[in-house]
Structures are given as C-alpha cells and as structure tokens.
Amino acid sequence: MSLSSLMNQFINDFSFLILAAIGLAVIFGMMKIINLAHGEFIMLGAYITTLSAQAGVPLIISIVFGAIGVGIMGYLIDRLIICRLYGRTLDSVVVTWGISMVIQQGMLIIFGPSLQGVSTPLGSVSFAGSTYSVYRILLFAISIGALFLLYLIFMKTKFGLYSRATMQNQEIARSMGVNTNRIYSMTFSIGAAFAGLTGGLYAPTMAISPTFGTGFLMQSFVTVIVGGANPLIGTSLSGGVLGIVNSILDTTWGTFFGEIGLLICAILVIRLLPLGFSGVVEKWFVRKRRM
C-alpha cells in the first residue's frame, strides 16, 4: 500500500461519501425524515444528465439539469405526499419506500434495464509517479464545493435562518410568522436537488440502470448516522473520518472490507455517540459559550 494510492483512494471515497450523503443529510437533519427514495433521486439525476448529454447538451449543463429536475420533482413529491406526514417518522419511511418502488420500476418500464452511458471526461494526469483521473479530482473539489454551498444556503440566507429556526423549534418559528410548511417543502426540494446533482456527477463513471442509486444507499446512510443531525458539520466530519477508514480498508483488503468497516463505524457511533459527530461538536460549543 503506497501513500499515493491511499491518497487516491481517499479522494475517491471522501467525495463519494459526501456526495452520497449530502441530500439525505439535509432532509434527515432538517425534517427528521428518513428518505428511502434517496437512491432513486440519485438515479433520476443520473438519467436526466445522461439523456440530456446524449441529446447534445454539454455535460456540465446536463448535470445542472439533473439537479434542478430532481429538485422540482422533490418539491412535487413533498407537496403531494410527504407534507401529510410531517412528524410521523416511521410512516415517512414506509411511504418513501413506496415512492422508491414506483420510481425504480417506472424507470425500468420506460427506459429498460440499462442506458447507454456517457464516457468519463477529462482523462487522467500523472503526478509523483501515479496516475489520477482528473474527473475524480474534480469530484473531490466539487464535494467540498457542495459543502460550501450548503453552508451558504443554511447560514447566509434568510431561508437558511428560517429553516434553522424551524428545526430548533417549530412552534416558536411558526408563532413568529415563519411558514414552516413552506420551509419543509423547500428543504425537501433542496435535499432532492443535491441527490440529483450527485446522480449527475457520477453518471459518467458508472453503468446507468434503474438500480443505479442502490450503490449509494449504504454509504449515504452510514455517513448520516455517523454525522448526526447537523447536515453541514455532521456530513463534513463523518465524510472525513469515514473516508480515511474506508480508504485504508479498501486499499489493504478490498471493497468488501471497506463496506464492513463503514458498518462497524456506524454501529459503534450509534452505541457511543447517539447524536453523531455533530451532537458532540454542538455540545462542545455550548460548553464553551457557557464558561
């Protein structure tokens, strides 16, 4: 195991974990809804991107289409279905599973078992004796960019302020004139858009099929469990830590043990820090402020 191959693996794993989890983390952290259709949102993003790229749209714009398209669809799904289930966590699990069945099988019926993909752009570079895929490095940069975007949305906009207020205490936020239902719909839509973005970004690197999203599911759930309720702090910290664990296991023993390692991390964290990394960080901040 050389340091450079480890580095290469870490770049891959970190960006994969962050991008897989970010949409799920937004919806879970802000709305306490476990979105089991998350994988299907990612898959839809990949389909939209691939289809528009094949229609001649430049790849980067196709990816944006993927994010926007899935964001709109997320908004519709929320208005039609999810908004009736706010506060019913387990029912929302069941209903999002129903949604995922419909989307996955629907795509199978419409587009068949697989779709001609687009090839990975940008080639590769050699650096310090080993080759890196430029696109993979770009994904790493984008994953950090996505976290930054999340920071901007939730910390720097009025919507972000309202949504954090709603997350802390729905009743108070509502009594101060915040339309909490609209905040939830927007949040769900933003989470879906992030999932669509992820699908679009990974569309050129993987085979496109209706089960495209399944490959992201385990990683996304583990990252969110380990990260805890705060999508920004949680996702970035757990993406970093799990990325290190995962890349070491991947390069030494292979993908399977990488997955087992993630699962064990998730179980340990639920056992020891049930609020995840962000819970610990928040507690630490509270303590610091009080002293």
Partner 1 sequence: MVQGKIKTENIVAALIFFFLFICPLFIDSYSVLNISYFLSMAFLSLSLTLIWGYCGIFSFGQAVFFGIGGYFYAVLTLNLTGTSAITPLGLLLGVILGGLAAWILGYFMFYGGVNDVFVGLITLCLTLVLSTFMGQTAGSAWNIGQVSLGGFNGINGIPALELGPISLSGNNFYYFVLIILFVIYCLLKLFTHSKVGAAIVAIRENRERTKMFGYNVPKIQSLVFAAGGALASLSGILYATWGNYITPSAFALSSATIPVVLVAAGGRKNFTASIIFTVLYYWFAQGLSASGSQYALVILGLILILVTLFVPDGIIVFLFHLSDRLFFHRESKMKEVQEEHLHEKNIG
Partner 2 sequence: MKKTSVENSTNKKAILELKGVGKYFGGLRAVDNINLSVKKGDLHCLIGPNGAGKSTIFKMIMGVYKPTSGSILFENNAITNKRTWDRVKLGLSIKMQIPGVYGDLTAYENMKIAAQNFYKRREMNNKIMELFDLLEITNLKSKIVNNLSHGQQQWLEIGMALACKPKMLLLDEPAAGLGPEETNYTSDLIRKLNDKGLTILFIDHDMDFVKNIAKSATVLHLGNKFAEGTVDEIASNQKVIDIYLGK
Binding site for partner 2 (CB under 8 A): 283-284, 286-291
Q: Looking at beta carbons only, is 271 or 287 nearer to partner 2?
A: 287
Choices 130-138, 167-175, 201-209, 266-274 (CB under 8 A): range interacting with partner 1:
266-274
Q: Contact, 8 vs 162, CB < 8 A?
A: no
Q: Contact, 279 vs 228, CB < 8 A?
A: yes
- The total number of residues written for the chain in this structure: 291
SS3 123: coil
# chain residues binding partner 1, by CB under 8 A:
38
274 touches partner 1 by CB under 8 A: yes
Per-residue binder mask for partner 1 (CB under 8 A), 65-94, x = binder:
----------------x--xx---xxx-xx
Contacts (Cβ under 8 Å, ≥6 apart) of 53: 59, 62, 118, 203
Residue 22 buriedness (CB in 10 A; 0-12 / 13-18 / 19+)? buried
**Among partner 1, partner 2, none, partner that 291 touches (CB below 5 to 8 angstroms by kind):** partner 2
**Among partner 2, partner 1, none, partner that 85 touches (CB below 5 to 8 angstroms by kind):** partner 1
Q: Which of 247, 250, 229, 249 is nearest to 14 (CA)?
A: 247
**Among partner 1, partner 2, none, partner that 97 touches (CB below 5 to 8 angstroms by kind):** partner 1
For the CB of residue 57, give the shortest distance to partner 1 in the complex, in Å.
Answer: 29
For the CB of residue 279, give the shortest distance to partner 2 in the complex, in Å.
Answer: 10
